[in-house]
Amino acid sequence: MINKKIQGQNILDEMNLWAVPMRFKLKYPQGFKMHRDSINRIVSCQQKSCKFKLVFNADKPLNYINLEKAEQNKINNSSLFTLDSDASVDIHNHPLNFYEKEQFTEEIINEINLLKGTVKTMAELQIFINKKYKKSFEYFQIAKQVNKLMDETFGQPGKDALGLIEDIEKEKSNDCGEYRLEKDPVTNQLKKLLYVSKTMLTYKEKFLDVVIVDSTYKRNRFNMPVVNIIGINNYGRNILLAFCLLNEETSASYSWVFDNLKTIWLKEPNCIISDESQAIISGLFYSLFFI
């Protein structure tokens, strides 16, 4: 299978050059292992529980035991290893479907950084980048890169969420608004936040004839949908009556929004308008409004 001698420091790279075209990839499961008169190095399949492995051996110098660890490592890395075919296992217990992920260049990263706030969805950004640079990045790769750039620019979104909650609680303590929130009991992460400012509270006294409910698609610091609760004033202009952040757009989430809006507003709108979002319609149906 493999009949050439390979330096210890190059075993993994050389073997992956051989393995990747055959749709699998290798890893080091452990470091160098010492035997009475030889040095042993194993590479195995990256797939969990796969038994495939290649065992390489090199002769150990006679004075190896008396050498410092740094010198031993130099010998391990520079020694010439040969494949021990008797100790190797060349059978996989899974389909061979590994493929190399596309790598980001500095030019592509700069392009993503420029576009990350201007496209509507990650999917659109993925399509644009792949088409322009003739790549095949997966959705999760683009999303991970965008989140990394956001963290570098703004810091961790979890800290921002806590800061937002602190600001809103301060407003509430000064009688400047109302809010409702829900956190994950285990991770303490923000799940839902509904906020109605002092100005919004004054609007709800006069402008609940028609209320429009609409959401954006995760284009904010928290990668959470923002639900805008909008009214129309006497001049026919849109006014913000409330807004909320949701971790998911489900019937239960929207029911939570509408139930809490009613307890804050203490009155019902005459008419609520939304798009054809089934989650909004179902959430409204199961809420306390209009009952």
User: What are the tokens at 93?
Assistant: 């217990």
Give the CA angle between residues 32, 33, 34 to the nearest 5°: 120
For residue 83, which of 162, 183, 164, 15 has the smallest C-alpha distance?
A: 15
> Residue 65 in contact with residue 109, Cβ under 8 Å?
no
| Geometric angle at alpha carbon 50, from 47 and 55, rounded to 5° | 105
Distance, CA of 118 to chain centre: 19
Q: DSSP of 224-281, one letter per residue?
A: -PEEEEEEE-TTS-EEEEEEEEESS--HHHHHHHHHHHHHHHSS--SEEEE-S-HHHH
DSSP string covering 157-201, please? HHHHHHHHHHHHHHHHHTT-EEEEEEE-TTT--EEEEEEEEHHHH
Asked whether 203 and 233 are in contact (CB, 8 A), the reply is: yes
Whole-number pLDDT of residue 249: 82
Residues of the chain with confidence (pLDDT) below 50 = none
In the chain, where the domains are located: 6-83, 106-154, 162-286
Which residue has tokens 């529980």? Answer: 49
What angle do the packed helices 122-133 and 106-115 form, to 10 degrees?
Answer: 140
Rg (CA), the chain: 30
pLDDT of residue 28: 93
Classify the C-alpha dihedral 169-159-242-224 as positive or negative: negative
Q: What pLDDT score does 57 carry?
A: 94
The residue type of 270 is N
Helix axes 251-265, 278-286, angle to 10 degrees: 50
- Return the pLDDT at 222: 66
Architecture of the domain whose range is 162-286: 2-Layer Sandwich (3.30)
Tally Cβ neighbours within 10 Å of residue 54.
23
C-beta atoms surrounding 159 within 10 Å: 10
Entry pTM: 0.48
